Amino acid sequence: MPDQTLAPSKLTRDDGTTIAYHHTPGKSPGVMFLTGFKSDMMGGKALAIEAHCMAHGLAFTRFDYYGHGQSSGAFEDGTIGRWAEDAVMVLDQVTTGPQILVGSSMGGWIMLLAALARPDRVAGLLGIAAAPDFTRDLIPPALTPGQLADLDSQGFCEIPNCYDDQQPYVIRKSLLDEGDNHLLLGGEIALDLPVRLIHGLLDEDVPWKTALTIMDRLKSDDVEVNFVKTGDHRLSEPHDISRLMRTFDALLEATASAD
């Protein structure tokens, strides 16, 4: 099992900010986990996949985006482009050889952007409630008139944090506007590699039809979607983790066959 008491390693960006990460050496393909919106690398799915990879001798990397977890910066100052750059920097400077990217929620968007930026380094993709384009398709339609007015008048608004007792999320207009530079679902996603998507039909944050749209937009023909009848957005219950491992093992086999 991973030692959760170990201090993370750090990468330093050109602007002096740091990206915290944990890397376990091992066999190829390596595995890189990309977390969700305001989540961090200590989450249950990241640690479960890390333990699974360690048991099979596979290299594994998890990290925190700018403003998340143990990385520097304020969450409110982050953008999709910034977080995608963090992922590519970790891919370039921490990992070696082909990688399987596993992205949860927003991490499903980031994994697609990272794969497009480094197609020669990515062997396969596994999305868990993947949420590309959420800054356009999901957040603005859910805002109240008051929240929209706050965006226009002060450049940010607050939305409830329904997952724990933390403070509300602060959503800046800059996050929504910058996200438009990275939209993927309006045309072909030019990736030709094995992709597996898991999505809960009871997901209240990201509609399950998003998985079908991703599948339709991907250039690859090797795309499978696993819908979970009673699954929510997090898909983090023990039976969800077991399913995730089965799906991962099948993807690993598919990437070997694709070589």
Rounded to a whole number of angstroms, the CA Rg of the chain reads: 17
Reported as type and span, the H/E element at residue 31 is strand 27-34
226 phi/psi in degrees, rounded to 5: -115, 105
Catalytic residue (one of 68, 182, 199, 233): 233
Task: Read off the tokens for 239.
Answer: 């039976």
Peptide bond into 29 cis (omega under 30): yes
Q: Are 61 and 90 in contact (CB under 8 A)?
A: yes
| From 39, 71, 104, 105, active-site residue | 105
In contact, 194 and 222? CB cutoff 8 Å: yes
| Inter-residue contact 206 to 128 (CB < 8 Å) | no
- Assess whether 180 carries a catalytic annotation: no
- Which among 64, 133, 203, 240 is annotated as catalytic? 203
Annotated active-site residue 236? The verdict is no
Cβ–Cβ contacts within 10 Å for residue 148, how many?
Answer: 12
> How far from 80 is each of 67, 73, 112, CA to CA, in Å?
12, 14, 12
Known active-site residue 105: yes
The DSSP call for residue 189 is: B
List, by residue number, the catalytic residues.
Answer: 105, 203, 233
